[in-house]
Structure 1
Amino acid sequence: MEHQDIAAKERTALPAKPPYPRINKGARKTQIVVVGGGAGGLELVRRLGAKYGRRNHDIILVDQNLSHIWKPLLHEVAAGSLDANLDEVGYRSHCARWGYRFFQGSLESIDRQERTIRLAPVLDDHGKEVIGAHTIRYDMLVLAMGSVSNDFGVPGVKEHCLYLDSRAQADKFRRKLLNHCLRVSRAMLTDPAADERVKVAIVGGGATGVELAAELYNAASGLKYYGLEVFDESRLEVTLLEAGERILPALPERLSNSARDELSALGVEVREGVQVIKATPGALVTKDGEEIEADLMVWAAGVKGADFIANLGLEVTPRNQIVVKPTLQTVTDQDIFALGDCCAFVPEGGGPQIPPRAQAAHQMAETVYRNIRHRERGRKLETFIYQDNGSLVSLSRFSTVGSLMGNLVGGAMAIEGRIARFIYTSLYRMHLIGIHGWMKGLGLMIIGRVNRIVRPKLKLH
């Protein structure tokens, strides 16, 4: 009864005064559930598992997929420059190594009174139920479900455009791209005078759109060495559409201009100040009434939280992001934390909302890890402080642009070329260390370097 009274007080709208009560259930294990195996969620369960193990704690990761791949690499998977099978992390083997449990499933609802979550049934490719709907109890719950593309309600986008939110979507794009390349290659062999091309239209001039546009030309230049003798980058037409005044608005204008020039030199048609109002089966319709024909249309114009988040009983923003306190606890329930793209964090004292970046998810995972430990000990929780380390955008092997140490120098330290490329690569290496630890992380870096030498440059299946 005493525990129930404490739990009820913690679920009230008013925050409990520190020190916070311990989450000790006596003989029962403390159960910490993390929903979402992205960069932040996977790093968090690795650290919790390494710290607590399975003796007095039960750390559980829930994800609808069976494996993890770093989301900033999806544009390379889509273009075929990266074989995701070599870089993905299987949750079942990872949990065996780090002392947590993995459940496959999609979050359906949260019962805050009973402290349980309900997972939807898992279905196979034919719609047959593999795992039935079930519930999992929690003492502390962490929501790290990432984000999805925001179509802003534009008609036809869901039906006719492709997204790059997941490994499955990236694989789907790659298959469609290769089919169109094969079609053009075959047409050129049949009729050398034919002027066939693969047309790709990308909506959104942020990092995803810019990186995909450059990576497509890198992949196209290599296809002639893998059986498509008459196909090269000259048979590729990529149009990048940005509704704002310039691409890469998060970067200084000089770097944005540099990226535009680099893309134009590759052959990308960069069109800024163009708003898409409709998507049809074979074209995008702009606000001015122009139709831009394309074989493949990719929507990368912004992100939001998944629609189901709005039905979890938590306070959310219009973009379905969960509103959190400075401690990264949800404002609705102190037993529920949120981190990464699915949460809306505004610094104390005001300022803009923290952008949906991998570095933010990494930093939030560290704070949530420490705050879970503080709650275990009944200590005051820490306030999350975001350190803006800048932003980097890769233009494949052609160039890299970005700015460093945003908090220290106001984002004014602009870098390009080899140094920027090295730092961009280092971000992925730090991710590997975050989810695998130093020993295995370093080993995977070496293996990855060897694979780049001995493996095919493109994945064509």
Structure 2
Amino acid sequence: MQTIVIAGGGVAGLELATRLGRDLGRRNKARIVLVDSAPTHFWKPLLHSVAAGTIDPSHYHVDLARQAIDNHFEFLCGEVVDIDRAGRTLKIRARLPHALGHESVLRYDRLVLSFGSVTNFFGVPGAETHCLSLDGVEQAEAFRRRFLRLCAATSGGAPRVNIVIVGAGPTGVELAADLRHTVDTLVRYRLNSLESPCQVRITIIERGPRLLPTLAPALSEAAARKLRELGIEIRTNTAVSAVTAEHVTTADGEVFPAAIAVWAAGVQGPAINTRLGIALNRNKQVLVDEQLRAVDDPFIHAMGDCSAMQVSDSTAMVPPSAQAARQQAIFLHRLLAGIERAAIPVFRYRDQGTLVSLGEYGAVGMLRQVIGDRYLNVQGAMAKAAYRVGYERYVMANLGPVRMFAQMLVRWARSRWLMPVKWH
């Protein structure tokens, strides 16, 4: 049997391993191995809600070992430290407590890189040192704990807690809205020493001319108007030039006090990409062809945020988004399983639209119409429902309809019995 190794259990990696396991692994037609440094998977687009404490990540985890058993693939909990392309092997350092640090070698016939991405600080002085980012659950939880400590230390005459978010894409906007809901909840339930929501000041700084540049201008304005109604300050056409432990400084010399600065302004490939000796773009992402193969190694595929592929007939690139990652996983499943019957299989990205959650205050977005290539602008309850459906469709693809509905029921019950935010 050939061995297909998937390095990275993110959105794309988990779905590809699950689909290949159900297809090839179940019939012993191939050995499917998923390698990830974490024992569980979390839907990355929800990290802003973990940071704000509006969801408990333990209620959304997928246990990778259980997923592997249920879907006929193998799971190795370890970190990929090196790849020998000539010998087609990976060196893996174990992350489980009983074998921590132990290194092993895994041979592959096909390797699929799905490492995801890390924050791109664009060389701004002090940004990497002093800004928090939301690359994983641990970082999101670190933000939440620090935020709660600052709120607990704020009393009647104390200075305000200043939160500065750099970047007005979906992550920055969603984090700001969820944080405002958390502050309102802390004050309402008297969960700490905050006496008024006004004691927490949230500012979004965006280099471009408007929030959410991938949405229609009318939707961007609607989101901006809603955030301002919530007391969130928005500064567009403003570039950050430096960050210190207490301040964020802009290119025009303006200084924003920042008890916490969050960088949500861009992504790049992880450091391991630079050690592979294969072609990368300037953001350290693996350059792939239309079959998602590394342009200089036919035995390596790459998908998701760690890869870069230009959209056919366009100067645009496939965006680093969950929907793009899922489409690439589905394509690679068909390619590697021999289901794709085209003479020359080619990946075609189809933009289904973009939805941005404003937490308890609604959602905005664009959805591709069923017929034609036009988009439908949506807001309010319809957008919020579509946002939730997008997540549940992903859960169903990996866990099946029964477990998806069971999880929905459990989350609904918890939302009625537990506190609205994770406050301790």
Give the TM interval when normalised to the shorter protein.
over 0.9
Question: Is 1:115 paired with 2:85?
Answer: no
**Quick one: which of 165, 187, 196 aligns to 2:159?**
196
1:181 touches 1:231 (CA, 8 Å); kept in 2?
A: no
Question: Is 1:391 paired with 2:354?
Answer: yes
1:252 touches 1:412 (CA, 8 Å); kept in 2?
A: no
**Quick one: which of 311, 314, 317 aligns to 2:275?**
311
Residue 7 of structure 2 is matched in structure 1 by 35
2:420 alignment partner, SS class: coil
Query: Any idea what the Cα deviations from partners look like across 1:129-179, whole Å, max 9, x if unmatched?
Result: 713222211111111111111100111111110000100000000000000
Residue 458 of structure 1 is matched in structure 2 by 421
Gaps of 5+ in 2: none
Residue 24 of structure 1 is matched in structure 2 by none
Residue 116 of structure 2 is matched in structure 1 by 146
Question: Residues of 2 paired with 1:40 and 1:449: CA distance?
Answer: 27
1:418 alignment partner, SS class: helix
Question: Is 1:63 paired with 2:36?
Answer: yes
2:151 touches 2:194 (CA, 8 Å); kept in 1?
A: no
1:105 alignment partner, SS class: strand
- Cα drift, residue 229 of structure 1: 6.1
1:388 touches 1:407 (CA, 8 Å); kept in 2?
A: no
Residue 223 of structure 2 is matched in structure 1 by 259
- Cα drift, residue 355 of structure 1: 0.8
1:221 is matched by which residue type in structure 2?
Answer: D
**TM-score (norm: length of structure 2):** 0.95
Question: Is 1:95 paired with 2:68?
Answer: yes
Question: Residues of 2 paired with 1:307 and 1:335: CA distance?
Answer: 21
1:459 alignment partner, SS class: coil
Question: Is 1:85 paired with 2:85?
Answer: no
**Quick one: which of 170, 173, 177 aligns to 2:147?**
177
- Cα drift, residue 207 of structure 1: 0.4
Residue 103 of structure 2 is matched in structure 1 by 133
Question: Residues of 1 paired with 2:100 and 2:184: CA distance?
Answer: 42
Residue 320 of structure 2 is matched in structure 1 by 356
Question: Residues of 2 paired with 1:170 and 1:232: CA distance?
Answer: 24
- Cα drift, residue 378 of structure 1: 10
Question: Residues of 1 paired with 2:47 and 2:70: CA distance?
Answer: 26
Query: Any idea what the Cα deviations from partners look like across 1:189-221, whole Å, max 9, x if unmatched?
Result: xxxxx1532110000010000000010011111
**Quick one: which of 424, 429, 444 aligns to 2:392?**
429
1:383 alignment partner, SS class: coil
Larger Rg, first or second structure (1 or 2): 1
1:33 alignment partner, SS class: strand
Equivalent residue pairs, number: 422
Question: Residues of 2 paired with 1:367 and 1:154: CA distance?
Answer: 37
Residue 20 of structure 2 is matched in structure 1 by 48
Farther-moved stretch of structure 1 (379-388 vs 156-165): 379-388
Query: Any idea what the Cα deviations from partners look like across 1:369-411, whole Å, max 9, x if unmatched?
Result: 0000129x99845211111111011111112111111796655
- Cα drift, residue 348 of structure 1: 2.9
1:206 is matched by which residue type in structure 2?
Answer: G
Question: Residues of 2 paired with 1:90 and 1:354: CA distance?
Answer: 29
- Cα drift, residue 444 of structure 1: 1.8
- Cα drift, residue 347 of structure 1: 2.5
**TM-score (norm: length of structure 1):** 0.87
Instruction: Give the superposed CA RMSD.
Output: 2.0
Identity percentage over the alignment? 36
The change in CA–CA distance for 1:311 and 1:223 in structure 2 (over 3 A counts) is same
Gaps of 5+ in 1: 1-28, 189-193
2:273 alignment partner, SS class: helix
1:92 is matched by which residue type in structure 2?
Answer: A
Residue 371 of structure 1 is matched in structure 2 by 335
Residue 254 of structure 2 is matched in structure 1 by 290
1:61 is matched by which residue type in structure 2?
Answer: L
1:88 is matched by which residue type in structure 2?
Answer: H
Question: Residues of 1 paired with 2:9 and 2:263: CA distance?
Answer: 23
Question: Residues of 2 paired with 1:407 and 1:344: CA distance?
Answer: 28
